[in-house]
Structure 1
Amino acid sequence: MPESKVVRIVIADDHPLLLQGLKDLLLQRGGIEILGAVSDGAAALKLILDNPPDIALLDIEMPYLSGLSIADECRKKQLETKFILLSYHKEPAFIAQAKSLNIAGYLLKEDTSTEIFKCIDEVMKGNSYYSLSILSTTHTTDSKKTVNLDLLSSSEKKILKLVASQCSSQMIAERLHISARTVEKHRSNIINKLNLAGQSNSLSLWAVEQKAVIMAL
């Protein structure tokens, strides 16, 4: 990172101690300006939109809006801010969703203290950086293959969210005022589009396991 370049950063994490610790860590480096440090997604989005930073360093799961949702909203508004997500999740679905949103950096929280500055440097160069300890999760066996949720239609995403909330096909049919047969057809399409056929667990179990990333759609 060039010494003359002051990197303007917004931080958001709903854990006060982690938020303060991250802020203190970044300020130790120098060449970094913290534009704001907030504890929920709605406040983070407002801060980013009001004064777009170079980098938004966001917890992936926060009240009101997730880090993924914030990144998606800012992408739609064509902001030049680059996003680094902090997460405890190594699951391929989270990684795939982050990549589908062109997230520049994805750090596991346990790797933050050792990799944060390398991540910032790479992101500011225009590169992407994902925690070294999760690289292997992008080359897993079929039982943990990555998926691209953007392949789904709006109707399929709506149904997948209900599946993740443990609603049966009949419950989904009643809630959406469609037939159970239509729900089953959508479920079949979801399995095919996400290439989940042949996995040891059902769509229902998979969706529950990946609920956090699904609900951020």
Structure 2
Amino acid sequence: MKDVSIIIADDHPLLLKGLYEELIANDYNVVGQASDGMNALKLILQYRPTLALIDIDMPFLSGFEVVKMAKEKGIPTNFIVLSFHKEVSYLCQAKALQINGYLLKEDSFFEIERCIHAVAKNQTYFSPSLDSLTLHSANDELKKLTLLTSSEVTILKLVAKQASNINIADHLCVSVRTVEKHRSNIIAKLALENSTNTLTHWAITNQKVIQEL
């Protein structure tokens, strides 16, 4: 693993220090460490490491934002996120961003090593501590979203921003009736209850996932 360069980022000093020391003690090549998202991104752009282990909740830029911005710049780094979050919405965001590994901060260093080795081989690794039903739910939600057309995705993003049908129609230069038809199709594809504001509530709740589409 000496040929595998690693950058780590976490805004908790003790967790960052502990992770760094464990990695160094086990002969991993840690080329940089950061305590916030902005510095993590700078290091990733500078060193283009093989792997980056980053916390999701960090100042300035979240771990997900770091991943998205690095990928947009064509950085080939594989990403492993570290988090306390087990919710479907977070797993959906990770999968939508095609993040290679998702670990929980409760996981042992042994689990971190297993993840690093898997991701270094371009495999995907999600913590075994995650509930299988939660993972299946995340997969199911993403599968539903892949059924949407590009026009429907655009409208869904605007719905998530609480834009009205009239505003969406004006923005896209289409009729209100066209927007209503798209909304109806989206509701059907996402298997949502067809009632007033159902789609709006769903879109707001899943806004972060939608923006990654």
In structure 1, distance between residues paired with 2:194 and 2:117: 39
For the 8 Å contact 1:96–1:147, the answer to whether it is kept is: yes
Q: Between the two proteins, what is the percent identity of the paired residues?
A: 49
Post-superposition Cα deviations, 1:104-148, rounded to whole Å, max 9, x if no partner, equal 11112222545211111211233221011225123349xx93225
In structure 1, distance between residues paired with 2:153 and 2:57: 19
Which residue, 6, 10, 14 being the options, matches 1:9?
6
* Aligned residue number for residue 192 of structure 2: 197
Which residue, 112, 115, 118 being the options, matches 1:119?
115
For the 8 Å contact 2:96–2:142, the answer to whether it is kept is: no
For the 8 Å contact 1:85–1:106, the answer to whether it is kept is: yes
SS in 1 for 2:7: strand
1:202 CA displacement? 2.8
Q: 1:76 to 1:174 in 2, by over 3 A?
A: closer
In structure 1, distance between residues paired with 2:194 and 2:168: 25
Post-superposition Cα deviations, 1:161-210, rounded to whole Å, max 9, x if no partner, equal 55445x363695499587765554443344345x2334999333333433
| TM-score relative to the length of structure 2 | 0.73
1:57 CA displacement? 0.9
* Residue identity matched to 1:145: D
| TM-score relative to the length of structure 1 | 0.72
For the 8 Å contact 2:168–2:179, the answer to whether it is kept is: yes
Q: Does 1:138 align with 2:135?
A: yes
What is the 5 A alignment of 1:35-50?
Answer: 35-50=31-46
1:159 CA displacement? 4.9
* Residue identity matched to 1:12: A
Q: 1:169 to 1:101 in 2, by over 3 A?
A: same
SS in 2 for 1:133: coil
Post-superposition Cα deviations, 1:75-100, rounded to whole Å, max 9, x if no partner, equal 34443311101223333343344334
* Aligned residue number for residue 169 of structure 1: 164
Q: 1:207 to 1:112 in 2, by over 3 A?
A: farther
Q: Over the residues paired in the alignment, what is the CA RMSD in angstroms?
A: 3.6
For the 8 Å contact 2:187–2:194, the answer to whether it is kept is: no
Q: Does 1:79 align with 2:75?
A: yes
